[in-house]
Amino acid sequence: MSFINKPKVAHPSLPTNALGMTRRQYEGSMSTLCAGCGHDSVTAAVIEACWGLDMRPEQLVKLSGIGCSSKTTAYFVSGSHGFNSVHGRMPSIASGANAANRELTYVGVSGDGDSLSIGLGQLVHAIRRNVNMLYLIENNGVYGLTKGQFSASADIGTKAKKGEVNQSPPIDPVLLALSLGATFVARGFSGDKAQLVPLIQAGIRHRGFALIDVLSPCVTFNDHEGSTKSYTFTREHYHAAIEADYVPPAQEISVDYPEGETLPVQLHDGSRVVLRKLGASYDPTDRSAAYGFIEEKLKQNEYVTGLIHINEDVSHEFHHLNKTSSVPLNRIPFEKLSPGSAALEKLLGRYR
């Protein structure tokens, strides 16, 4: 990203969304990541997605843990609250925040170290709890801030910058999320914004836990020959299998999709994702089939990208199970929360 702050003044000809806001107004502070970092492209995709969704900035809550990826929540939508928590613990902050106010939109940004090592426990339990949020993993296979150690997503045989070869099997967040019953599982590539933006939009609109694993190469520590998370390797091996288009609620599905190769899925708020499948037999609503397909492709060194699995059943969503009040818990008037002196006096009879 640029090294000088861009002026916030926008040219009058810049396109605006339904709120009359330009893309510039969805930006955050200047990125301090390395030039060419995949994470900055993900940031740009988030900005584009929020702009496209006509989201009020204060509607969004940005959450992160620790690491290069977790810094990025400062780089988009400066008009929304951000919470940069501690390493690997963002899911619990998100769970609590979401419990307090179910009306806001929660986007968590994490990395492969933050999510798959120190934070693995919190990630799997946020999935299990089915917290209504979008969880982005900016996955580059290395620890950047501590200078290039392998992360738990590093593939067997991948080579570190200093030559060390990884021997331990990787944890694949997509297979992990599928096995845990996550209701929205996708994989993207920071270098394919056209694919990533609708995935983010659909993930935000999905009611429940939406995980997007974004392959996001580290230009400084993991972009060399022999790395399986470099730009070159990723471009050669990513397999855009299931393209998704996000269609807002008010809009007609006007594009002419070939019969049998598309699958429109209605989201909870009335919007839709239209999935364009490369193979007509692929059914992203079938979790076990999706698992088998991804695993098979991984064996062939192929990262399948796109919306891999979606399930719009909300019966396991946190608030649904909790029967939480439709008025957010943080806005219920005190008079409705405190039972009062008469109730207390009555209750004391139990303790006499």
Pairing mode, strands 238-247 and 272-277? antiparallel
Q: How many CB atoms lie within 10 A of CB 100?
A: 12
Binding to other proteins (CB under 8 A): which residues in 18-57?
56-57
User: Both tokens of residue 220?
Assistant: 């400084």
Contact 46, 73 (CB under 8 A): no
Residue with tokens 């060399």, as numbered in its chain: 224
User: Both tokens of residue 39?
Assistant: 């994470």
User: Both tokens of residue 43?
Assistant: 């940031």
- C-alpha 183 chain-centroid distance: 13
Q: Minimum distance between the CB of residue 194 and other proteins, rounded to whole angstroms?
A: 29
Cα separation of 196 and 203, whole Å?
10
Q: How many CB atoms lie within 10 A of CB 95?
A: 18
Binding to other proteins (CB under 8 A): which residues in 94-133?
94-101, 103-104, 121-122, 125, 129
Q: Which stretch binds other proteins (CB under 8 A): 217-225, 245-253, 284-292, 341-349?
A: 341-349
With contacts defined by CB under 8 A, how many residues of the chain interact with other proteins?
57
Q: Minimum distance between the CB of residue 68 and other proteins, rounded to whole angstroms?
A: 13
Which of 86, 145, 240, 289 binds other proteins (CB under 8 A)? It is 86
Instruction: Report the chain's C-alpha Rg in angstroms.
Output: 21
User: Both tokens of residue 303?
Assistant: 């990262």
Binding to other proteins (CB under 8 A): which residues in 123-182?
125, 129
Q: Minimum distance between the CB of residue 4 and other proteins, rounded to whole angstroms?
A: 17
Of 67 and 188, nearer to other proteins (C-beta) is: 67
Read off the DSSP letter of residue 34: P
Of 107 and 186, nearer to other proteins (C-beta) is: 107
Contacts of 263 (CB under 8 A, 6+ apart): 274, 275, 277, 283, 284, 285
Q: Minimum distance between the CB of residue 234 and other proteins, rounded to whole angstroms?
A: 30
Q: Which stretch binds other proteins (CB under 8 A): 7-15, 92-100, 263-271, 296-304?
A: 92-100
Q: Minimum distance between the CB of residue 140 and other proteins, rounded to whole angstroms?
A: 21
Site string for other proteins, 256-275 (x = CB under 8 A): --------------------
Cα separation of 26 and 13, whole Å?
17
Q: Minimum distance between the CB of residue 127 and other proteins, rounded to whole angstroms?
A: 11
Which of 146, 168, 288, 322 binds other proteins (CB under 8 A)? It is 322
Cα separation of 296 and 238, whole Å?
14
Which of 58, 164, 236, 286 binds other proteins (CB under 8 A)? It is 58
Residues within the interface to other proteins (CB under 8 A): 56-59, 61, 73-74, 78-86, 89, 91-101, 103-104, 121-122, 125, 129, 322-326, 329-332, 334, 336-341, 343-345, 347-348, 351-352
